[in-house]
Structure 1
Amino acid sequence: MKHLLLSSYLKHLEIISCEVCNFFDFEVSAVSNNSLNVKDNSVFVAVKGTETDGHKYINDAIARGARAVFHNQEIQKQSGVSYIRVEDSYYAYALLCEKYFDEPSKKLKLIGITGTNGKTTSAYLLKSVLESLGKKVGLLSTVEYSFGDRVISAQRTTPEAFELQTVFHKMVEADCEYCVMEVSSHALDQRRIGSARFDGVIFTNLSGDHLDYHKDMKSYFLAKERLFTEYLKKAGKAVTNCDDPYGKNLGVTTFGLSDISDYNIIPSRDLFSRCMDGIINSGETFILSPHLLGLYNSYNVAGVFALLSELGFNKQKVAHALSEKISVPGRLERICGRKNILYFVDYAHSDDALRRVLTALRELKPKKLISVFGCGGNRDKTKRPRMGKISAELADFTIVTSDNPRKEVPSEIIKDILEGIRITGVPPVNEKEDIHGRACPLPESARDARGTGKYNVIEDRRRAIFEAVRMAEEKDIVLIAGKGHEDYQEIMGVRYPFSDKEVLKKAINEVEGLRS
C-alpha cells in the first residue's frame, strides 16, 4: 500500500468528530486494532469489543511502534505520540482501513443483501446471474469470499473492517466490476463497512435471531434498516419483501405473494422440481423455473429478479438465468443415497429458518420427516425453545444434538431446546423417563404407529446423523440442520474438523451397504 501521511487519514475522517492531541505528521505504515500486529509508524485504534477492550493494549501498541492512537475513552498520554479521540472507535477504524487501501469500494458496484434468512442463497443467485450476463463478480458471503480465481473460506458473514477492505482491494485487482455481499446486522450496527455506498440492496425478511447482541427486535431491525437509509447511493435501487412485517415498511420497490407487490410471485404447481412458476411485473408475466425447493426460496429468487430488473438488466435474460441450475452450498443441499430416501443438509439455525425448511420438505409429502438439529452456544438463547417447538410440530421425529457449543456445555443448550419440545406434548423415545431422568408416562394416543416416542437426544452429532440414517425408511426425508456448509465444530474455543455433508455421506454408504 502507498504510505500516506497521518494528515491524509484525518482529512478522510472529517465526516466524524475528532479531538486531536500532540499532533505531528508522519507516513503511516499500517493500521491495526490489534497491538500484536503493530509495527513502526503504525496507527493503532483502541476498540472496546465484547470480550476485550483495546484501550488496555495502548501502551503495548506504542512499545511496538505505534505513533498515533485513536481512542474513545480518557487515557494517559505519552510524549511523541499523536492521540485522536473519537466518539466511535470502530467506525474510525473502518474509515482508516478503507483509506489505507485507497477506498477500493468506490471502484466497485456494490450489491448488498440483508435480512435474517435468505442472504446466502440470494448472494449466490445474484453472482450466478450477473456472471451469465457477462459481468465479473466478487462475492462476500457466509460461505466464502471470492474474487477472480481465488476463493477464501469465510469466518463471518461480513468480515471485520481491515479484512473487508482487503477483499475489496483484491476484487479491484482482479478486475471485478461488481461485488455481491451479505451485509450482517452486526456489520451495520458497528459501521464496519465504513463509507461504502451500495448501488443496489435487498431486504429478505426479519425474524428472531442475534438478540443476544441487539437485545430486541426493534434494535435488530434498525440495524438492518441502515443499509437502506444510510448506505444506499442516492441513485441506488432497493427492493424488499412486502410480505414481511418489517420489510413492508421500508418504502421501496416490493416483491412477494401479495397482490400489491410490484413483483408478484406466481406459486409453483410442481413443488418437487421448482419453487415458483414466474413473476408478474407491470402486467407482464415472466416465466421462471428455478431449481430450488420451498416457497421461501421463491422470495429469494423474486428479490434477485426484482433488483436486477430495477438496475436495468433485461428481464427475460434474468428470468432465463435464474431458471438454470444454481448450487448454493449447505442450503437445502441434497445428498444422494441409493435407496428411495431423500437426504438434505441445511444451514437453518434460527426458528424461522427451520420452520421454512421443514415446511418446504413437508410439502413433498414424505412418509416420515426426520429432523436432526442443535443450537449454537454463546448465541441468542431465546431461539432454542422456539426451534425445539417447531421441529416437534413439523417433523415426525426429532433428534436433538450438539451444534457449535463454543464455550457452553452442550447438555445445557439441549435443555433449553427440550423446553420447547415439551410444550407440544411430544413424547421422548423412552416411555419411562426423558434425558434428565424425569418420569414421562405416555398415553396411547401420544405414540406413533410403531409405539415409540417422537424425539430423542443424542449429544454426539456424528452419532445423531448415523442414527437418523439408520431409522430412515423408503419414502422418508432426513434433514440435518444448523451447520450447512461449515466444515468444523467449535468446542471450547477450538474448531475441530466436522462436515455434516461428509458425515451424512459416510452414514448413507455404511448403512445402505448393510441393507443391501
Structure 2
Amino acid sequence: KNEAEVRAKNIAIKDNGVSFYVESPWGQGEFNLKLTGMFSVYNTLAALTTALIEGISWETCRPVLENISGIAGRFEKIEMGQDFTVIVDYAHTPDGLENVLETIQEFARSRIITVFGCGGDRDRTKRAPMGEIAGKYSDFCILTTDNPRTEDPWQIFHDVEPGLLKTKKRGEYVIYLDRYQAISQAVDMAQEGDVVLIAGKGHEDYQIFIDRTIEFDDRKAAREILAERLGRKFTEGKRGI
C-alpha cells in the first residue's frame, strides 16, 4: 500500500524469481529474489520490516533475503534443461492448490498442466473443491493417486470429478491410476513455455496404498522422465515399486 512505511513497487514476477523496488525509512533499493510469486514479496517485506525494526542493517538484510532458495517440495522447480517449467509443490488442500495455481498464473506464458490427486482416509468434502480449483486455473488436468491409503483410488477419483466437471474447461482432463505415468503424460504433453504443476506430495518420498507403502518421490520421477525425454542418463536412483 502507498501509505505503508515499507513498500514495494515495480514488481516483476517470473518463473525463476521476482524483482521489486523497496522504499523504507531505513533505505531503498532493488530486490531480486530466487523465490517467485506475490506471496514472496509480502513475506520479504514482513521479514525485512521486522529485521529493520530490530536494528539489523539494510546492508545485512538484503543479501540474506535475496539468497533464500526455498524449501524442498514447496514450489520447487525441476530443471533439466527443458524449455518448459516443471514445479513440484506440497499443495494438498483447496486453499493450498489455489494459492499455487494463482502464483503460476502470474508468470505463465502458455498452458498450465496440473497433476494432482486427493489423499485417502481424509476429508472427502475437500475433493470436489480440489477438482474445481484445478480445472478453473489449469488448461489441462491429470487426476491421479496421492496416498490412497485404505480407500479405493477410483472412489477418490469419483469424488473429485464433479468439481472438474463444473469448470468451463469441462472434459479437459484424464485419469491415470499410476502416478508415475501421470507425471510422464504431463511431461509428454508439455511444450515450450508451458508450466507443469505436480501437486500434493512435495517433499514426500513414499506413496501409501492399502497393502503396501512404496518409495516414490515426485521430484525424482520428474527428473527421470525429463532426462528420458531429453535423451540423457539419469543417475539419481530408480523409481521404487
TM-score (norm 2): 0.84
| 2:13–2:37 Cα contact (<8 Å) kept | no
Question: What's 2:187 paired with?
Answer: 469
Question: What's 1:367 paired with?
Answer: 110
Is 1:488 matched with 2:231?
no
Q: 1:402 aligns with which of 145, 148, 155?
A: 145
| 1:289–1:323 Cα contact (<8 Å) kept | yes
Q: Read off the aligned partner of 1:307 and give its amino acid letter.
A: T
Over residues 271-317 of structure 1, what are the superposed CA-to-partner deviations in whole Å (9 max), with x where a residue is unaligned? 34433414444485353211111112222323332333344322331
Q: Read off the aligned partner of 1:486 and give its amino acid letter.
A: E
Moved over 6 A (4+): none
Q: Distance in 2 between matches of 1:311 and 1:415?
A: 52
Q: Distance in 1 between matches of 2:123 and 2:49?
A: 32
| 1:276–1:295 Cα contact (<8 Å) kept | no
Is 1:297 matched with 2:15?
no
Q: Quick check: 324-333 or 281-290, which moved more?
A: 281-290
Q: Read off the aligned partner of 2:129 and give its amino acid letter.
A: R
Q: Read off the aligned partner of 2:218 and give its amino acid letter.
A: D
| 2:15–2:108 Cα contact (<8 Å) kept | no
Q: 1:497 aligns with which of 215, 220, 239?
A: 215
Q: Write the mapping of 1:32-71 to structure 2, written as runs, cut at 5 A.
A: none
Structure with higher Rg: it is: 1
| 1:389–1:421 Cα contact (<8 Å) kept | yes
Q: Read off the aligned partner of 2:81 and give its amino acid letter.
A: R
| 1:337–1:343 Cα contact (<8 Å) kept | no
Q: Write the mapping of 1:96-175 to structure 2, written as runs, cut at 5 A.
A: none
SS at match of 1:306: helix
Question: What's 2:14 paired with?
Answer: 271
- Per-residue deviation at 1:338? 3.5
Q: Distance in 1 between matches of 2:65 and 2:143?
A: 36
Q: Read off the aligned partner of 1:510 and give its amino acid letter.
A: E
Is 1:457 matched with 2:210?
no
Q: Distance in 1 between matches of 2:63 and 2:156?
A: 45
SS at match of 2:44: helix
Question: What's 1:322 paired with?
Answer: 65
Q: Quick check: 261-270 or 409-418, which moved more?
A: 261-270
- Per-residue deviation at 1:268? 1.9
Check 1:274–1:510 CA distance in 2 against 1; reply closer, same or farther (3 A cut): closer
- Per-residue deviation at 1:260? 5.2
| 2:136–2:168 Cα contact (<8 Å) kept | no
Flag structure 2 segments of 5+ consecutive residues without an equivalent: 233-241
Check 1:316–1:327 CA distance in 2 against 1; reply closer, same or farther (3 A cut): same
Check 1:345–1:308 CA distance in 2 against 1; reply closer, same or farther (3 A cut): same
| 2:13–2:107 Cα contact (<8 Å) kept | no
Question: What's 1:390 paired with?
Answer: 133
Check 1:306–1:412 CA distance in 2 against 1; reply closer, same or farther (3 A cut): farther
Is 1:422 matched with 2:165?
yes
- Per-residue deviation at 1:420? 1.1
Q: Distance in 1 between matches of 2:10 and 2:157?
A: 37
Is 1:351 matched with 2:94?
yes
Question: What's 1:478 paired with?
Answer: 196
Q: Distance in 1 between matches of 2:2 and 2:151?
A: 46
- Per-residue deviation at 1:459? 2.0
- Per-residue deviation at 1:262? 5.4
Check 1:286–1:373 CA distance in 2 against 1; reply closer, same or farther (3 A cut): same
What percentage of aligned pairs have identical amino acids?
Answer: 33
Q: Distance in 2 between matches of 1:266 and 1:405?
A: 44
Q: Distance in 2 between matches of 1:267 and 1:350?
A: 32
Q: Distance in 2 between matches of 1:460 and 1:392?
A: 20
Q: Distance in 1 between matches of 2:59 and 2:11?
A: 19
- Per-residue deviation at 1:475? 2.1
Q: Distance in 2 between matches of 1:511 and 1:460?
A: 19
Over residues 104-153 of structure 1, what are the superposed CA-to-partner deviations in whole Å (9 max), with x where a residue is unaligned? xxxxxxxxxxxxxxxxxxxxxxxxxxxxxxxxxxxxxxxxxxxxxxxxxx
Over residues 6-41 of structure 1, what are the superposed CA-to-partner deviations in whole Å (9 max), with x where a residue is unaligned? xxxxxxxxxxxxxxxxxxxxxxxxxxxxxxxxxxxx
Flag structure 1 segments of 5+ consecutive residues without an equivalent: 1-257, 429-453
Q: Read off the aligned partner of 2:184 and give its amino acid letter.
A: F
**Higher relative contact order, chain-length normalized (CA < 8 Å, sep 6+):** 2
| 2:86–2:196 Cα contact (<8 Å) kept | yes
Q: Distance in 2 between matches of 1:273 and 1:459?
A: 31
| 2:19–2:32 Cα contact (<8 Å) kept | yes
Q: Distance in 2 between matches of 1:323 and 1:368?
A: 29
Question: What's 1:512 paired with?
Answer: 230
Over residues 426-478 of structure 1, what are the superposed CA-to-partner deviations in whole Å (9 max), with x where a residue is unaligned? 333xxxxxxxxxxxxxxxxxxxxxxxxx1111121111001111111222221
Check 1:366–1:287 CA distance in 2 against 1; reply closer, same or farther (3 A cut): closer
Q: Distance in 1 between matches of 2:119 and 2:5?
A: 38
Q: Distance in 2 between matches of 1:405 and 1:303?
A: 38
- Per-residue deviation at 1:351? 1.9
Q: Read off the aligned partner of 1:408 and give its amino acid letter.
A: E
Check 1:269–1:384 CA distance in 2 against 1; reply closer, same or farther (3 A cut): same
Over residues 212-256 of structure 1, what are the superposed CA-to-partner deviations in whole Å (9 max), with x where a residue is unaligned? xxxxxxxxxxxxxxxxxxxxxxxxxxxxxxxxxxxxxxxxxxxxx
